[in-house]
Chains A and B, each alone.
Chain A
């Protein structure tokens, strides 16, 4: 029967055991991922099973890299994610976190949209590092994504998004993540997608400032193609800043909603 070891097809005897195959192919491997799940137990293998064998500390060769990075992705989930293109409108606290989560789970394509550069006041909640100060956010985020998953296709758009360019910038995406800071921009993007881009879905966010409980940040399905994440009320303002924990909670609600839309679990 055929199984896959580090994503390469391998012939194995009917009823072969996982540890037996490991001993034969990579006996010194200390991490065994069996169909997306790390295991120390032995299993009887079935046709089309996927094994990834990793030696800690060893940098994989280029042709093994994709298999190892993908090893924790559930195969049926990964194939659907790989087909999908997601637009991220704004690469601040929300957008940079959404993009990194989607990259880590193996999204096919990201359209990264932001006109601005990284500056020091971003580092309290956004994914960037000191070495990125002064870089365009589109370039800095592309660099970070490449460092954790070089197999995501990336399109960068360093433009200010307004009513005049929304349809063009996001034309090739399936799902749009509204991740702006400015509430007027949030409304313009959401209204334009809902009125003029009816084949797309939008996942917007409103209300994630401060250090209130994280449990008030929720995802609501407002209508067929419109999801809204947040507590709905806590606006950023003097004395109530945006802080990494709640912003990342909201961002990952958005990323999880994108994942669930792709998997049809709405």
Chain B
């Protein structure tokens, strides 16, 4: 699958949440777009990513 433009592959199907854990990204500080659809936070646990999924993860850091 493509994650932020980079090719990544996994042994098995993984969820969005598992991808975020793998990338060491806090799921409460992101916007996740899968195949151009913005996902709700509640979908991260269940939404399975496919080998041809296009994923964009936009992370927020603190400060303002």
Question: Interface residues, chain A, CB within 8 Å of chain B?
Answer: 90, 92-95, 179-184, 186-187, 190-191, 194-195, 204-209, 222-223, 226, 228, 230, 232-237, 242, 247
CB distance from A245 to the nearest CB of B (A): 13
**CB-based closest 6 A-B pairs:** A236-B63, A235-B61, A183-B60, A186-B60, A181-B64, A183-B29
Name the distance in Å between A183's Cβ and chain B's nearest Cβ. 4
- A3, B60: Cα distance in complex, Å: 51
Most chain A CB within a 10 A radius of its CB, from B26, B29, B36, B40? B29
In the complex with contacts A184-B28, A187-B28, A191-B31, A206-B61 CB distance below 8 A: yes
CA distance A216 to B30 in the complex (A): 21
Given contacts A187-B28, A194-B31, whether A207 and B63 have CB atoms under 8 Å apart is yes
Q: How far is the CA of A226 from the CA of B28 in the complex (A)?
A: 18
6 pairs across A/B with beta carbons < 8 Å? A180-B64, A181-B64, A183-B29, A191-B38, A222-B31, A222-B56
Contacts of B38 in A (CB 8 A): 191, 194-195
Is the CB–CB distance between A186 and B58 below 8 Å? no
- B41 contacts A by Cβ under 8 Å: yes
CB pair A206 B60 closer than 8 Å: yes
In whole Å, how far is B8's beta carbon from the nearest beta carbon of chain A? 20
Complex contact B40–A206 (CB within 8 A) = no
Q: Mark B1-44, 1 if CB is under 8 A from A, else 0.
A: 00000000000000000000000001011110100101011000
List chain A residues, Cβ under 8 A from B28: 184, 187
A134 nearest CB across to chain B (Å): 21
Q: Tell whether A190 pairs with B31 under 8 Å between CB atoms, given A195-B38, A195-B40.
A: yes
Residue from the list A94, A195, A228, A237 in contact with B64, Cβ < 8 A = A94
Residues of chain B contacted by A94 (CB below 8 angstroms) = 64
Complex CA gap A236/B56 in Å reads 24
Could you say which of B40, B41, B62 contacts A235, with CB atoms under 8 Å apart? B62
Which of the residues A205, A206, A226 comes within 8 Å of B59, measured between beta carbons? A206
Interface contact B64-A93, CB-CB below 8 Å: yes
CB distance from B6 to the nearest CB of A (A): 16
- For residue A93, which residue of chain B has the nearest CB? B64
Taking CB atoms, residues of chain A closer than 8 Å to B60 are 183, 186-187, 190, 204, 206
| Interchain CB contact under 8 A, A222 and B58 | yes
Q: How far is the CA of A235 from the CA of B36 in the complex (A)?
A: 27
Q: Nearest Cβ distance between residue B47 and chain A, in whole angstroms?
A: 14
Smallest Cβ-Cβ distance to B59: which chain A residue: A206
Q: Which residues of A contact B36 (CB under 8 A)?
A: 223
- Residue contact B61 to A183, C-beta cutoff 8 Å: yes
Alpha-carbon separation in the docked complex, A232 to B63 (Å): 11
Q: Are B58 and A90 in contact (CB under 8 A)?
A: no
Docked-complex contact B29 and A184, CB < 8 angstroms: yes
Q: Closest residue of chain B to A233, judged by CB?
A: B61
In angstroms, Cα B63 to Cα A247, docked, is: 9
Chain B residue contacts of A235, Cβ below 8 A: 61-63
Alpha-carbon separation in the docked complex, A257 to B63 (Å): 19
With a cutoff of 8 Å between Cβ atoms, the chain B residues found around residue A247 in the complex are 63-64
